[in-house]
Chain A
Amino acid sequence: MNPILQTLLPEFILGLGAMALLLFGVLAKRDQSTACTWGAIIGFILAAIAAYTAPTGTIFAGLFRSSDFSRYADMLVLLGAAAALILSLDYNRREGIARFEFPVLVMLAVLGMLVMTSASDLMTLYLGFELQSLALYICAALARDNLRSTEAGLKYFVLGALASGLLIYGISLVYGFAGTTNFAALANLLGNGAGYGTVIGIVFVLVGLAFKVSAAPFHMWTPDVYEGAPAPVTALFSTAPKVAAMALLLSVMLGPFGHLLAQWQLLIVILSVASMLLGSLAAIGQTNIKRLMAYSSIGHMGYALVGLAAGGEAGVQATLVYLALYIAMSFGVFACIIAMRRQGRSVEAIADLAGLSAQRPAMALALAVLMFAMAGIPPLSGFFGKLYVFAAAVHAGLVVLAVIGVLTSVVAAYYYLRIVKVMYFDTGDPAFDRTAPGVRLVMAAGAILSALFVFLPGPVLAAATAAARALVG
């Protein structure tokens, strides 16, 4: 087979698959949302297989690079997106927003993310970035008759457009001052220092990407969008695009701009500290569990950024491990949130969970495991993510950052514990409706992966090591 075709096979599968599903959806007599969703999930599985077997190397004269790094990020993106689609199956039907466009849009967004993770040129980067953003704006407003959902879509679009503007402005500055947009060429060029213009350009690129990973102080859209968007869409937002944007951040900052670590390291440290502080402090007062998860995700991105701030192979590896563990926790939690339905309506207040441990012990146990994992209490998976990022930070001499990180994680533990407290210590009558099997499956998968990572860390670590080596080594 043609090497170009082979390298791009996952992208082809997703792109052509999305077109095919779109045609099928439009031409079908009845609404075919369930069939389209399953089609998209199968597409993701095929794309994952294709990405796993894709040869490593650069194609299109350096525009696109497939490596162990992009493979690792692709797997996480596909996993997160597939989980979100499984969650959407039942939820969208019950909420009356089951439309075949949703899986098509998610497929297009994932296509964008796959391009992002393999981009090796600022232009490819921007293309992928925009493709996923535009698809996701529509997803946020999927419940178009719901005021909060449309508000979420609009807010996400306006702020996202601003971020895209900053990103493209930064790219143009870098191009103007360096004369190239190719990663390898930039890395060569910036090896012996950079002028002010380039550095300013890098800062704009960084800000644009920080919007997407919702790192404070560029997080403003996150709580409202998380709360307003339908729950499966929120589940998607908190997994796949986060991984893609973080992977992009890693590959841009440590690839072409890697030699300028000393100049941008402080910025990442500031972003990271601000995110960790905001994620832990602002979440305390939340009563809506989706908003709480929004702040929690800001905090988690802060911890993931600690690895980037540390730089080097150990730092990349730490961030990648963190992302993998975060995805598993995150879709598990959102499965629990989607399972919070009473008399056909979804409820979102934390107080609604009161007494859950008596009525639905399995769900309460799963959510408790996930909460302890998110809080980073060993032996659950979240702890190892934190251990790696802090180890990378201390190894790189950023002891103060590590200390701030562990202290904010205690504050964060408070609100995670509060959810456990509500479920186990308070009395109440949640009386949730029967949960769909798909949702239960995702919930169990998230909880089991988080609980048992300690026994089998090998595969994730080996993959992350290979990915980090491909990027930095």
Chain B
Amino acid sequence: MNAAGFPILSLITFLPLAGVAFIATLRGDETVVARNARFGALWTSLVVLALSLYLWLKFDPAQAGFQFIETATWFTGFNVSYRMGIDGISLFLILLAAALMPIAILSAWSIRRRVRELMIAFLLMQTMMLGMFAAGDFVLFYIFFEAVLIPMYLIIGVWGSERRVYAAMKFFLFTLTGSILMLVALVWMWSNAGTTDIATLLHTPIPPRDQLWLFVAFLASFGVKAAVWPLHTWLPDAYGEAPLPATIMLAAVLSKMGAYGFLRFAVPMLPQAAAQAAPLMFTLGVVAVIYISFVALAQTDMKRLIAYSSVAHMGVIVIGIFTFTVEGIEGALFQMLSHGIVIAGLFICTGVLLARGEGLALGRLGGLAARMPAFAALLMLFSLANMGLPGTSGFVGEILVIVGAMQVNFWVSLLGGMGMILGAAYMLVMLRAVLFEKPRVTGLGRVDDLRPREYAMLAPLALLVLWLGIYPASFTHGFDATVAAMVQAHTAAVVHPATAALAVAIR
């Protein structure tokens, strides 16, 4: 059994389904059902969060391989089993997904239409996300990875804003096209290794010739999901049109699924191809950082500006992953966590403005620093974290990626680092427009500052931003061993392919 003594990963993954069952069976008039559905979803997600924290407590950071492994027969005769297991990489993504879910559900409090269905969709999505990070089998991973599309499609399409149908379709078809190519790669690797156990696949050598097209398939899949430039075009539409809670989950967790895919599959399973593709990935990352930053600078809508800043940060993450250095990959991982928290905070801030009827057009906003001081302080904190100010979470990730990239290529490091400067440019432009400039549209009356529910969403995020920024070791400690082992294996496979293959054969 595992360190927890009970199948904790399955419990975390499938607990939201119990919440779904509870909400689906609610009876009564509409307002009662809506209230109970909200609280049911919130409590479910809080229990999941508590379980995930317990998981963190029981996690052994010294161990590099998979922990909390669970297996059960599933597709007999096909060597596809139900396998769960996590390592240092997946642990924190599970924590991220579990921590943001209650906040997203809180942010859905103001949605009045079809509340029951919305909460069901959210809990389903949570099961898919957690299951994906906890999956120890490729087929299982793929199922969760793609199944996320169904609730997300419905959430965008039913509860989104005006161009929701277009955005939902685009989101679905874009991501499906990418992930379906991975399906071919999956069955190829399945027939190559004879199993879909991820731990086995990690040690199964693949001829370099085949690695290349497998990598292309993975790039199509994870690149779309992670919104790597130029595969990001679905993102501004989806982020812009989705309702606030869905935007939070999309930006904070779903985009990390792509980066996680790179770390879990593309890099360790296809080391030669990944090494060959590194210059391409650096280029894509640098273009994302610089070009998308300029695009963000040109936005006139706050939500879209934040959406583009998210693409730019994904560029940094991609650069970090493909340095194949401990610093770079740890930086990418740290940036994934930090970006998830910061972007959620920023999007919630836009939600606060929308709730006040302020709108999000940068030209119409202004002067909020005086009118909503607490809001202004928190927005400031998240914006500074987003541009990577020391002391906030954003800094740690960026600096680690820059250090990692420096060991590989000076120019990548320099240009990737430009992201911090350009990020400062567009975030400060946004802050000036929202907080300080005199409003160009007069007649806006007094607006309330933050309400208790908004504090409940923003305060934990702000604390996390500071915790990650001031004492990052409590997080890096957890994935040090995993990342070190991964980098070591990668170097061995690339530098000495023959001995690596031999080592595999001996094992």
Give the B-binding residues of A (Cβ under 8 A): 357, 361, 372, 377-379, 383, 386-387, 390-391, 394-395, 399, 402-403, 406-407, 409-410, 413-414, 417, 420-421, 424-425, 454, 457-458, 461-462, 465
Contact = CB atoms under 8 A, between A and B. Distances in A.
B184 A403 contact: yes
Contacts of B181: 403, 406
A357 B77 CA distance: 40
A465 B190 contact: no
B442 to A, nearest CB: 37
A439 B117 CA distance: 25
Contacts of A407: 177, 180
A458 to B, nearest CB: 6
Given A424-B157, A425-B165, 18 more contacts: A377-B150, A383-B143, A383-B146, A387-B183, A387-B187, A406-B183, A410-B173, A410-B176, A413-B172, A413-B176, A417-B169, A417-B173, A424-B154, A457-B74, A457-B75, A461-B76, A462-B76, A465-B77
Interface residues of B, number: 34
A462 B77 CA distance: 8
Contacts of A461: 75-78
B59 to A, nearest CB: 27
Contacts of A457: 74-75
A465 B76 CA distance: 10
Contacts of A458: 76
A365 to B, nearest CB: 9
B115 interface: no
B184 A377 contact: no
A402 B181 CA distance: 9
Interface of B: 74-78, 117, 139, 142-144, 146-147, 149-150, 153-154, 157-158, 164-165, 168-169, 172-173, 176-177, 180-181, 183-184, 187-188, 190-191
Contact of B180 (A394, A406, A417): A406
Nearest to A424: B158
B143 A409 contact: no
Given A378-B142, A391-B187, A461-B77, A425 B176 contact: no
B183 A390 contact: yes
B320 to A, nearest CB: 30
A309 to B, nearest CB: 15
Nearest to A386: B183
Contacts of A403: 181, 184
B150 A372 contact: yes
Contact of B173 (A378, A391, A413, A465): A413
Contacts of B157: 421, 424-425
Contacts of B173: 410, 413-414, 417
18 contacts: A377-B146, A377-B147, A377-B149, A378-B142, A378-B143, A378-B146, A383-B146, A387-B183, A390-B183, A390-B187, A402-B187, A403-B181, A407-B177, A413-B172, A420-B154, A421-B169, A457-B75, A461-B75
Nearest to B185: A394
Contacts of A402: 184, 187
Contacts of B172: 413, 417
B147 A379 contact: yes
B444 to A, nearest CB: 33
B366 to A, nearest CB: 35
A399 B184 contact: yes
Contacts of A465: 77
A391 B191 CA distance: 7
Question: What are the 4 tightest A-B residue pairs by CB atom distance, in nearest-first order?
Answer: A378-B143, A391-B187, A406-B180, A395-B191
B450 to A, nearest CB: 33
Nearest to B142: A378
Contacts of A372: 150
A414 B153 CA distance: 12
A379 B141 CA distance: 11
Contacts of B164: 425
A92 B78 CA distance: 44
Nearest to B181: A406
A390 B150 CA distance: 22
Contacts of B168: 421, 425
A383 B75 CA distance: 14
Nearest to A406: B180
B165 A421 contact: yes
A193 to B, nearest CB: 29
A394 B188 contact: yes
A372 B176 CA distance: 12
Contacts of A357: 158
Contacts of B188: 394, 399
A386 B76 CA distance: 17
Contacts of B183: 386-387, 390, 406
A410 B180 contact: yes
A270 to B, nearest CB: 20
A466 to B, nearest CB: 11
B177 A410 contact: yes
Nearest to B182: A406
B117 to A, nearest CB: 8
Contacts of A425: 157-158, 164-165, 168
A242 to B, nearest CB: 24
A391 B188 CA distance: 7
* Chain B CB within 10 Å, residue with most, of A403, A406, A414: A406
B147 A378 contact: yes
Nearest to A402: B184
A221 to B, nearest CB: 31
A284 to B, nearest CB: 12
B150 A406 contact: no
Contacts of A386: 183
Contacts of B149: 377
Contacts of B176: 377, 410, 413
A361 B117 CA distance: 10
Contacts of B191: 391, 394-395
Contacts of A420: 153-154
Contacts of A394: 184, 187-188, 190-191
Nearest to B213: A399
Contact of B184 (A390, A417, A462): A390
A343 B142 CA distance: 45
Contacts of B142: 378
B84 to A, nearest CB: 15
B474 to A, nearest CB: 35
Contacts of B77: 461-462, 465
Contacts of B76: 458, 461-462
A391 B180 contact: no
B241 to A, nearest CB: 12
Which of A378, A399, A402, A407 lies at the interface centre, i.e. has the most chain B CB atoms within 10 A of its CB? A378
A428 to B, nearest CB: 14
A379 B158 CA distance: 21
Nearest to A358: B114
A25 to B, nearest CB: 45
A296 B77 CA distance: 30
Nearest to B183: A406
A205 to B, nearest CB: 31
B153 A417 contact: yes
Nearest to B75: A457
Contacts of B146: 377-378, 383
Nearest to A372: B150
A424 B142 CA distance: 26
Nearest to A409: B180
A298 B82 CA distance: 33
B297 to A, nearest CB: 33
Contacts of B143: 378-379, 383, 454
A390 B147 CA distance: 19
Among A407, A410, A420: residue with most chain B CB under 10 A: A410
Contacts of A414: 169, 173
Contacts of A383: 143, 146
B147 A391 contact: no
B348 to A, nearest CB: 26
A289 to B, nearest CB: 19
A423 to B, nearest CB: 10
